[in-house]
Structure 1
Amino acid sequence: MAQANTVRILDGSTFVVSEDTGDIEATPSEPTGLFSLDTRFLSRWVLTVNGERLNALSYDDLQYYEARFFLVPGMPTHYVDAKLSIIRERTVGGSFHEQVTILNHDEKAVDLEIRMDAGADFADLFQVKDEILNKKGETYAEAEADRLRLGYRRGNFRRETLISSSQTARYDRNGFTYSVHLEPNTQWSTDIDVHTVVLGPASEDLRMELRVPSRDQPSLQRGLEEWIAAAPKVNSECEHLARTYRRSLVDLAALRFSPLSLSGQTLPAAGLPWFMTMFGRDSILTCLQVMPFVPGLSRTTLCLLASLQGTRFDDFRDEDPGRILHELRAGETAAFEEQPHSPYYGSVDATPLFLVLLDEYERWTGDVALVRELEQEARAALKWIDNYADLVGNGYIWYERRNTDTGLENQCWKDSWDSISYRDGTLPPFPRATCEVQGYAYDAKVRAARMAREFWGDPAFAEQLEREAEQLKERFNRDWWVEDGQYFALALDPDGRKADVLSSNIGHLLWSGIVDQDRAGKLAEHLVGPRLFSGWGVRTLAEGEARYNPIGYHNGTIWPFDNSFIAWGLRRYGFVEEAATIADGILAAARYFDGRLPEAFGGYPRELTKFPVEYPTACSPQAWSTGAPMLLLRTMLGIEPHGGHLAVEPRLPIGMGRIEVLDIPGRWGRVDAFARGRLNLHQLSG
């Protein structure tokens, strides 16, 4: 949830959300504080000078991992003749570091009592999200001679916050205090370190045992510079495109997440503040989006998903053999099975998408060894599609949660409770089958057939998969077509009745290739037509449908990630103008968000609002929104791997100008792509 006047900094699974003064005063319902691995390690962090609270002159979130706050004591009326100023410089790099500097601008010496109130409620992120802080363990605070230890203990689940300072401080259970004498025009500073400790059953620090690094500011800066240097360079006459690309690259670096089991290897977390962890669907789709720019993320993602693939039937976790996880959490509620996320498997698209990513990764990198290494996991995923996902017995993927207490009702990407409806607005019964998932299954089988033939040495299995894919395509085009609307239904109910609304999901069908060629043109017309296309992007649900709401989470908002795959799908079927139209709208919207596309924004017509209206509780940054500009770049330039070389067939929006993408990595080494957009009438006349 975005809060007014908040400052966010993050590094992987660790992030801080504070007020614009740098203070933290968390309530059970606000995602403010220092969080790591789904636990809040600081819920109170308040700086005072001589008992006075501080006010912000300005703040600067310099990089994703650091912020600087410029403060003065007292109320704003004191600003004119404030004799003291305070600078707080904060860095997050696995743990938390803050430097506090006090400057005396007076001609007289001053004696100061500088106090930092500190506390930790060790709230689980789910408890914060649900606004229920119900701790069943014991919190403790121990003031030692050289540090403050805050802790929480519940059985073998133990978390601690260790606070120490470079300057001598007096520690108590609620914080620490400095007594400082400052001569005229001098300054004083201290470095404060806050370490988040994850303790195992034998009181060992699991982060140290698994060599999870805590990084300082220079190493964070060096790591970011190396990340940017390794990625392709984008130069463009359209300045906001280059800025948006760089912002996406930096945000993607910020969202790199290293689970405790990976010892420093990273994959994309889903988004700040609620989803700084691994999500099967989100991580896979993000990897697909950014493949031409940072293909290495895909390998880590595939390996971890394979290692956590379902092996049994578990109703609590919605687990089946071969199923790919939906969400993995490390907090208290998951540890004590108050939530099923250890991991939770309640998604029906992550499993076919796993196969899609494995094939796409090999097509880009030539990493045949990984395709062979994950053969059994890939076969298990295919078996899940055929044997366990078909709850009705008609050859489609269906979902119905078995965990009725905490499991997800809708297990597709539109996972809010009211996202699937009939044209009259009523909701269908369960099980449900959504259209885009059938497309993913088709694509997965086509791609798995290639892997079976070329890498697994099983041509008979390849032929079987190709037959099954073709049969699925034929059935789908027959059963899902809405004749009076000339589009595919959003979903089917168990009786075969269509959820016959017009939705953005039809664009995913183009991306997967399941649509018959003679029907693709109608879908393209809808996708850039006035009911779905707002001028900024394609709405999740078409204007005029019963549940349409321009700020309804999945019922009328615009999702940048959704649009990036829709544009890619249009391009696949040869609708280059329509793909360029969508790319142009989304990239134009990015200008209003300083290059950082939010999770979603309002579906209002562009001519009505004149600017994109942000969805009120959107995650930012969010991984697959961060990846959207990269996939749009791929789509506009027509970048596709073909064997050992990279094909480039650009078609840019009118007025986009020249684009260069330099040093695109892949099995071909590093190559460049160039494109020039067509001029608009204003440019021609000028």
Structure 2
Amino acid sequence: MADTNTVRILDGSTFVVSEDTGDIEATPSEPTGLFSLDTRFLSRWVLTVNGQRLNALSYDDLQYYEARFFLVPGMATHYVDAKLSIIRERIVCGSFHEQLTILNHDEKPVDLEIRMDAGSDFADLFQVKDEIVNKKGEIYSEVEPGRLRLGYRRGNFKRETIITSSQPARYDRDGFAYTLHLEPNERWVADIDVRTYALGPGGRDLRIGLRAHGSSERLALERDLQEWIANAPKVNAECEHLGRTYKRSLIDLAALRFSPLSLGGATLPAAGLPWFMTMFGRDSILTCLQVLPFAPTLSSTTLRILASLQGTRFDDFRDEDPGRILHEMRYGETAAFEEQPHSPYYGTADATPLFVVLLDEYEKWTGDEALVRELERECRAALRWIDDYADLVGNGYIWYERRNTDTGLENQCWKDSWDSLSYRDGRLPGYPRATCELQGYAYDAKVRAARLAREFWRDPAYAEQLEREAAELKERFNRDWWVEDGEYYALALDPEGRHLDVLSSNIGHLLWSGIVDDARAEKIARHLVGPRLFSGWGVRTLAEGEVRYNPIGYHNGTIWPFDNSFIAWGLRRYGFAEEAATIADGIIAAAQYFDGRLPEAFGGYPRELTKFPVEYPTACSPQAWSTGTPMLLLRTMLGLEPHEGHLGVEPRLPVGMGRIEVLDIPGRWGRLDAFARGRLDLHQLAA
């Protein structure tokens, strides 16, 4: 999926992954297609002219929701010019629309047979990801007057794709065709609509009212994007690639907005393309925290929908507990028939405390007291989950162990790959497991909830209780998790209380949460910008020299931009502005090599070795919390912090960064501007 010859366009939960010709020809090794609500609605969409496949001259990624492909039959050479041009212009909006244009450049008339092969396997996205498409229902293809209907039914689960054309076409069960006669310099245009339907009881489309239709689609999308950009703060920067990266991130964030079926059009950030175009508790919350100064409305939607789906019972299949915030919500066939538990699935240990953190941070920025009062019950339930259900060992920490041993996640922290947690000798621990950053999140949640209880819930006794519990947790954590011979905090504890004593990026999240003793903060800061963790581009997930270190290991040595943004925020919290600027500078420099679109992760190779950041081969792109990274780094560099109803600004830019302006920052203060100038690079001046 990282192939540079694939083209991706998206709008909310609908996206298309195609070849650079615009063709879709899904195979186990090429998971292309038209996807919506975790189902592939087109797995074949192949254009031929006179039976011949086409070759790409170029394609334009016009906006996140549209692309244009310029094609010719055969291979144009220096000696033989192509006599036909074929242009495919594609727009995604709920479903997708394709305009097909044929131009005859010959001096004589031509007769053409234009065909589009069309088909769908209606594969569940999980089946596509696992490269196993095993359908248990009925796939059908029906030719109807003026259209082709592709469908799949299994009990009450029904999905359909309906294809129509503005030009008369001959439809058959495998596609449709046109017979053309074009005079010299004549142009022929067909508008092809591909509509997708997720049908519920009574044949009603589950997404009714969530999308535009007909000729208004492009205008609606253009207007929406224009409004999105107009409402966001303006960033002017002397560092050109910072300005480009911010603009790219703002547009990608617009593309990743996802409207759950229950919200009637309100949006929250989906996790990322292609596998995670849905609601994720942790990912959506962390993205909202990153972008609060730039797009605060995403936070209110995220908080409300997560609150509405908060756990209410004990369900081992879904790893659900009362008060627990969901991990992931899916709408495909495997979830509908409980072949996997994501309907929703609750197997994450961090989303619940982070829910409380976001609610408090959102109120500090926006002054939305009503939402704090509205979500008091859910917030209290989340705090009860921390104390009553997450402490599996009984020692006051958040632990996790999956109860669904078939399809549940083994690691329920943000480093959720199977081998992300290890001892110094490389061994993997048993269960349950407790990672260090979870304890930091719990501490932060209690401190923040104490403020909410005192100021908005009129419960000072509860506030005092939470403050006391937070102080006890901080004292206990600093005693139990400190690795003396390394002078850092353990990545995790095993059930016997032994340290997973590797040096990892997780310690940066501890600074962000505030759980680190002041006396130890400088040691943590030195590790984070030291040569074992910091590559020059960013902080590695696992330190160089550890047994499981691998610069392209998913959570064992790669650099995650989102991880670095929270580490930089944590460094600023403890007063390490220079170190925070160093990390921000590395990540922003890396972004220019990805055309301003930071990937999910990239290699942890030393900067002096590669001279450019090496992309992780299967990284999601765009990904929400990578998209949010430049925004949080801007906040960190400018020292933007809400304080008693006002916006504080305390800039500390990397050396040589130049002037930065962030204009019209929204918040409870209205709209304010922030300015900063980096110090000059004396070495460059001398040169």
**Residues 29 and 128, structure 1, Cα contact 8 Å, conserved in 2:** no
Question: Matches of 1:211 and 1:496 in 2, distance apart?
Answer: 50
Question: Matches of 1:618 and 1:302 in 2, distance apart?
Answer: 27
**Which residues in structure 2 correspond to 1:285-684 (within 5 Å)?**
285-684=286-685
Q: Deviations over 1:389-419 (max 9, x none)?
A: 0000000000000000000000000000000
Question: Matches of 1:335 and 1:152 in 2, distance apart?
Answer: 14
Q: 1:81 Cα shift?
A: 2.1
| Counterpart residue number, 2:130 | 130
Q: Deviations over 1:83-128 (max 9, x none)?
A: 1110000000111000000000111111111100000110000000
Q: Which amino acid aligns with 2:101?
A: T
Question: Matches of 1:79 and 1:285 in 2, distance apart?
Answer: 56
Q: Deviations over 1:148-177 (max 9, x none)?
A: 000000000000001000001011100001
| Counterpart residue number, 1:5 | 5
Q: 1:77 Cα shift?
A: 4.9
Q: Which amino acid aligns with 1:99?
A: Q
1:81 match: secondary structure: coil
| Counterpart residue number, 1:21 | 21
| Counterpart residue number, 2:183 | 183
1:169 paired to 2:169: yes
Question: Matches of 1:573 and 1:363 in 2, distance apart?
Answer: 19
Aligned-residue CA RMSD in angstroms? 1.0
Question: Matches of 1:545 and 1:358 in 2, distance apart?
Answer: 37
Q: 1:427 Cα shift?
A: 0.4
Q: 1:377 Cα shift?
A: 0.2
Q: Which amino acid aligns with 2:90?
A: R
Question: Matches of 1:308 and 1:260 in 2, distance apart?
Answer: 13
1:89 match: secondary structure: strand
Q: Which amino acid aligns with 2:33?
A: G
Q: 1:257 Cα shift?
A: 0.5
Q: 1:559 Cα shift?
A: 0.2
Question: Matches of 1:48 and 1:111 in 2, distance apart?
Answer: 14
Question: Matches of 2:309 and 2:233 in 1, distance apart?
Answer: 32
| Counterpart residue number, 2:72 | 72
**Residues 31 and 273, structure 1, Cα contact 8 Å, conserved in 2:** no
| Counterpart residue number, 2:157 | 157
Q: Which amino acid aligns with 1:646?
A: L
**Residues 29 and 129, structure 1, Cα contact 8 Å, conserved in 2:** no
Question: Matches of 1:186 and 1:199 in 2, distance apart?
Answer: 42
Q: 1:3 Cα shift?
A: 2.7
Q: Which amino acid aligns with 2:43?
A: S
**Residues 212 and 220, structure 2, Cα contact 8 Å, conserved in 1:** no
Q: Which amino acid aligns with 1:181?
A: H
**Which residues in structure 2 correspond to 1:52-91 (within 5 Å)?**
52-77=52-77, 80-91=80-91
**Residues 232 and 662, structure 1, Cα contact 8 Å, conserved in 2:** yes
1:56–1:65 Cα change, 3 Å: same
**Residues 212 and 260, structure 1, Cα contact 8 Å, conserved in 2:** no
Q: Which amino acid aligns with 1:32?
A: T
Q: Which amino acid aligns with 1:367?
A: D
Pick which of 306-315 and 4-13 moved more. 4-13
| Counterpart residue number, 2:282 | 281
TM-score by length of 1: 0.99
| Counterpart residue number, 1:235 | 236
Question: Matches of 1:282 and 1:624 in 2, distance apart?
Answer: 7
| Counterpart residue number, 2:39 | 39
**Residues 29 and 130, structure 1, Cα contact 8 Å, conserved in 2:** no
Question: Matches of 1:185 and 1:352 in 2, distance apart?
Answer: 65
Q: 1:212 Cα shift?
A: 3.9
2:495 match: secondary structure: coil
Question: Matches of 1:424 and 1:484 in 2, distance apart?
Answer: 15
**Residues 115 and 175, structure 1, Cα contact 8 Å, conserved in 2:** yes
2:594 match: secondary structure: coil
Q: Deviations over 1:192-248 (max 9, x none)?
A: 00001010111112222x544446112211111110010000001111111100000
Q: 1:683 Cα shift?
A: 4.7
Q: Deviations over 1:54-107 (max 9, x none)?
A: 000111111111110000112455983211110000000111000000000111
**Residues 491 and 498, structure 1, Cα contact 8 Å, conserved in 2:** yes
Alignment identity in percent? 85
Q: 1:29 Cα shift?
A: 4.7
1:202 match: secondary structure: helix
1:53 match: secondary structure: strand
Q: Which amino acid aligns with 1:535?
A: G
Pick which of 337-346 and 77-86 moved more. 77-86
Unaligned residue ranges in structure 1 (runs of 5+): none
1:163 match: secondary structure: strand
Q: Deviations over 1:316-350 (max 9, x none)?
A: 00000000000000000000000100000000000
Unaligned residue ranges in structure 2 (runs of 5+): none
Q: Which amino acid aligns with 1:300?
A: T
Question: Matches of 1:60 and 1:576 in 2, distance apart?
Answer: 41
Q: 1:179 Cα shift?
A: 1.0
**Residues 600 and 619, structure 2, Cα contact 8 Å, conserved in 1:** yes
Q: 1:374 Cα shift?
A: 0.4
Q: Which amino acid aligns with 1:548?
A: Y
Q: 1:30 Cα shift?
A: 3.3
1:301–1:487 Cα change, 3 Å: same
Pick which of 637-646 and 211-220 moved more. 211-220
1:257 paired to 2:262: no
Question: Matches of 2:685 and 2:45 in 1, distance apart?
Answer: 58
Question: Matches of 1:292 and 1:80 in 2, distance apart?
Answer: 56
**Residues 309 and 322, structure 1, Cα contact 8 Å, conserved in 2:** yes
Question: Matches of 1:611 and 1:311 in 2, distance apart?
Answer: 48
Q: Which amino acid aligns with 1:11?
A: D
**Residues 567 and 583, structure 1, Cα contact 8 Å, conserved in 2:** yes
Question: Matches of 2:120 and 2:598 in 1, distance apart?
Answer: 32
| Counterpart residue number, 1:147 | 147
Question: Matches of 1:534 and 1:578 in 2, distance apart?
Answer: 13
Q: Which amino acid aligns with 2:361?
A: E
Q: 1:4 Cα shift?
A: 4.0
**Residues 28 and 127, structure 1, Cα contact 8 Å, conserved in 2:** no
Question: Matches of 2:99 and 2:592 in 1, distance apart?
Answer: 34
